[in-house]
Structure 1
Amino acid sequence: MPVGRDDIIRYAATAIEEGKRLDLGVLAAELHISRVTLFRRVGNREQLLSEALWWLNERSLESSIGRWHRANGDAVRGKDGALRSMWIATDHAARTGRDSGFQKLLDDEPIAAIRALTDPEGAVQPRMIAALTDLLERDVQEGGLRPSVELSTLAFAVVRLSESVLYADLLAGRQSNIATASTLVNALVDGVLRAD
């Protein structure tokens, strides 16, 4: 059976989860395809790294959405008052921050990892903004909220603010802190989304 693009991305994502360095030669050999075929299907190493990181992020988001639904059903706010979209985003960030494979990638290849995670033309950042926009839109529609800016702009700001705090150790030589990121993001979102 031929190895498709999704197979390669999934295999690369699993390698990252396991804390392995993403080596295209090794990957091609393990998948029994040539490096040329690998390149044709997924692009260069940076492109594959970006796609694999999105694959992992998407599953983490799905897991966080499931955790919300198990605890709160379809409620827009949790028992503690947390807005569904922000709870999901915070849970996702916390789970990602605790992932040993992800942390190993950040430790071993900080420049490549940050480039893959924050590139506006890459697989991760634009899709994370789109996913967060969808979550915010649902909260606005179901929660009777009135945004003072476009939701795609709010999602962009939330993602960029989160990146700057979560990767502060790599970007600015400061301590990264999920609780601080959550506080800042929630203040931003609460200031933009008003109840009707």
Structure 2
Amino acid sequence: MSDSAGVRRVVTRDQVVRGGCRFFLRHGMVDMDGLALTLAISRATLYRVVHSRDGLLGDVLWLLAERTLSRARKQRRRSGVDGVLEVTWRFVEQLRMAAAFRTFLRSEPETAARVLFNASAGVHPRAVSAQREILVEAGGAAESWSAATLDQVAFLYVRIVESALYAELFGGVAIEPELAERAARAVLTHGATAVS
């Protein structure tokens, strides 16, 4: 799309992702034609900048998740395993209350599963990396774990939380919150022994 003088509008990936976040929060999805119109660029320009809808969705979902996770981390009152679990359940509660996110999961379950769980979209690896940081911040057993152990515990922990949060995307039954917490606590409590 060009302006009235025929000059092509230039946008950065960051501008597109932030625009995608606003679009997602309003509509519970990202429609590429609608987003291009909102950003006053052509669809071709939009794809030139982001390459794929899945890639854009991954960046949008992670940016929104990162903001929520950052708030949960700032609100943490405990340390050690209890502090890690506190951050997780604050984050999970906020996601469960996010209307746009729930709309997306209901209306595009296959896309959601692909973007949230496949490494190529970038959400899962970033979630594991953030969880690793949370483990280190909380102290406790994590202080004595090797880097490899931290990576593996973070990965397992995130997968447990995902299983509880997105049971419908895995085609499973809803997991009781108490059971999910016991499983998550077990990974954190026995991680060093189990992984070493």
User: One fold, TM greater than 0.5?
Assistant: yes
2:4 — aligned with what?
Answer: none
Give me the CA root mean square deviation: 2.3
Within 5 Å, give how 1:115-194 maps onto structure 2: 115-140=114-139, 145-147=143-145, 150-192=149-191
Structure 2: give runs of 5+ residues left out of the alignment. Answer: 1-8
Secondary structure of the residue that 2:27 maps to in structure 1?
A: coil
Displacement after TM superposition at 1:146 (Å): 3.1
- Partner Cα distance (2:35, 2:180) in 1: 35
2:79 — aligned with what?
Answer: 76
Displacement after TM superposition at 1:150 (Å): 0.8
Shift in CA distance, 179/43, structure 1 to aligned 2, threshold 3 Å: farther
TM-score by length of 1: 0.83
The amino acid that maps onto 1:37 is T
Size of the aligned set, in residue pairs, is: 184
Shift in CA distance, 166/147, structure 1 to aligned 2, threshold 3 Å: same
Displacement after TM superposition at 1:85 (Å): 2.4
1:86 — aligned with what?
Answer: 85
Q: Which is worse superposed, 14-23 or 45-54?
A: 14-23
Structure 1: give runs of 5+ residues left out of the alignment. Answer: none
- Partner Cα distance (1:178, 1:35) in 2: 42
| Matched-pair contact (CA < 8 Å) for 2:17–2:56 | yes
- Partner Cα distance (2:38, 2:175) in 1: 36
2:95 — aligned with what?
Answer: 96
Displacement after TM superposition at 1:91 (Å): 1.4
- Partner Cα distance (2:99, 2:142) in 1: 39
- Partner Cα distance (1:144, 1:17) in 2: 35
TM-score by length of 2: 0.83
User: Which of 1 and 2 has greater Rg?
Assistant: 2
The amino acid that maps onto 1:12 is G
| Matched-pair contact (CA < 8 Å) for 2:21–2:60 | yes
1:61 — aligned with what?
Answer: 69
